[in-house]
Structure 1
Amino acid sequence: MVTLNIIMFLISIGVLYTLRRMQKIFLPIEKIVYYMVIVVTIEQIHSAILDNYKLLEFSEALSAFFFYKMNQLVVFPIATMWLLFSFFHSKPRFLFKMLFLGIWFAVLIESYMLFEKLGIVKFTGWNFGYAIVVWYVVLVESFCFSLLFRKMYGKCDHRDIVSP
């Protein structure tokens, strides 16, 4: 598990480094606000669904908790920010945006299966439907907030999704 945590730490650093590539579409304030909203959304949804219904049982090991939280606080939110980036970027075609959306859903939903295989969580009622609901709610809430924030901030280049 220590090796996995080192790998996860390096992946998290790499993912954080990729935020620099969003400069043309997202201002620094947007990146900060979107990151905070996405993290809060993920944590609230996980608290509301997973914790209240006791669908997952977490491992007692500190290294497993570290691995899970690095995913929750770094990898998943930044993957969601990259999804928003692809939606608001005017160059990619609709097909590529939908392909990226499908990849995003598949990776984040299957991450729970990976967590179970690694012994980080144990399913006590969790199923594929809950994973779809969790990530769909995260997507809708973060996308709606980013649309509203971009509209209020006046970020329109007449090819953007929020252009009048």
Structure 2
Amino acid sequence: MLELSQLDLDEIATALSDQTDYDHRWLIDPTSGQVSFWTSDTGLDGENPVDLEDVDLTLIDPLPSYVWYQDMADFADRLSDDPAGRRLARAIAGKGAFRRFKNALHEEFPDLLPTWHAFRETRANRRAVDWLADEGLIPEDDAGQYRQNHPDPEVP
């Protein structure tokens, strides 16, 4: 099993959130924790195509977008500034929610950006830890300790 200290949780979280529909995949080496990016044209090394069935790596499938959408909804709901919370809640209604949320934050509430980034990163990294435990790559006890030590940041 891997040690949490040897893993790049941000990179694993990026892989779990990657909703693009390009012909690529994220993988992790279950022995070293090294994350790799694979494309059908350039393989793992950027030059030599390789079939995914020929590598001894674990695929990192992205989590559904509704998981990441919930972070925006929870953030808006927790804001003590009612007008800001309502505005961000309206921004995530319907198609294009991610772009509208980002635009509303940048244009109308830039002072909330650091809090949003901390909130999103904390949740993303906890999801990465949960995924690692679910895949049997880290001990469940380590995942539980991480979750306990990394609660959602306070939202103003």
Identify whether the pair has TM-score above 0.5, normalized to the shorter chain: no
Question: Which structure is larger by alpha-carbon Rg, 1 or 2?
Answer: 2
- Whose relative contact order is higher, 1 or 2, with alpha carbons under 8 Å and at least 6 apart? 1
TM-score of the two chains, using structure 2 as the length reference: 0.40
TM-score of the two chains, using structure 1 as the length reference: 0.38
Higher helix share: 1
Higher strand share: 2
